[in-house]
Structure 1
């Protein structure tokens, strides 16, 4: 019943071409906004999740994403924009992750740097280092999640019509291979599965997506 209702809602939304124009205009606006990183992630995640539901629960949206341009005279096809978003977010996550190890390494602390009542409380400076490391780790995961959302959309397109679109999407991937997408999607799956954030149907579709992408690697 819920799935049928969701399909009806999705069909209603896509019946007006202005909906897609506004949706992708919103994505571009969010990317260029001066929102805090947390707010930017939240709004990007909500918008991309809506798009995931539309692609999953309608018959022809995937064709629209492959054939139509971005709004406002942007020459990019929508799928090209999504691939670009995937690559940029994955690259940002990889850079943050490579720096993360150094951020977690705190300087040696003298005995005088600890509170007399506890031998486990670091100095203000080391506490600040620790907080900065946490913030960078959170940012790295946010980039990974946005990349994963974009990757899921592109993957669902391939589930719908792999033979027609696989080369077009593959050409836009890092090194023109699906290996990076497979890595991001597996990382996303593990995190979401461990946090019990998936419904059984969500687990099933992501497992299907990852299996398909892995078959395209190599």
Structure 2
């Protein structure tokens, strides 16, 4: 009887140990390090001097501004696309749903190095994207060197990489919505768009809020 009482903790132990070693410890270690400075090869307590210097650093505020730009623009675009794709791939009328699901999810498991090299090649001055735009009479865009277009490039690449990941989360949640709700709405004359707005989105509110909070937390904190 006593052994059964500890069984849940044994199952939780591996995940808890990994969390403590690779998440909790680095965060606490970094926090303590922020109150120290290196003098003569050893770290000594420096109080809030590092934070005082940070508040005077213009590069820090520029980086903070850019981070909020990505948070406000890229995250809603990515989650909106993920929601639309999940709804489309959840349709029983769509053939080869498994193929499309894997295809959209593949960028999330792509190596970070391969993903960076791919976009750096595509976004070069003579890259694939500029060549494509030239057929429509668009002048060459400095994707990687212009301050504005560099931000657009990052938004594009991040959206490509993580939209499929969030799509899978929404798709899993959609499959838990009872079919009876859609059948009743269909009998009442509601079309697919109205069903999506009045049934799918409200049923997914907990997942949507959780995703938004997760990206706000990881981006800001």
Using the size of structure 2 for normalisation, the TM-score is 0.26
Q: Which one has the largest radius of gyration?
A: 2
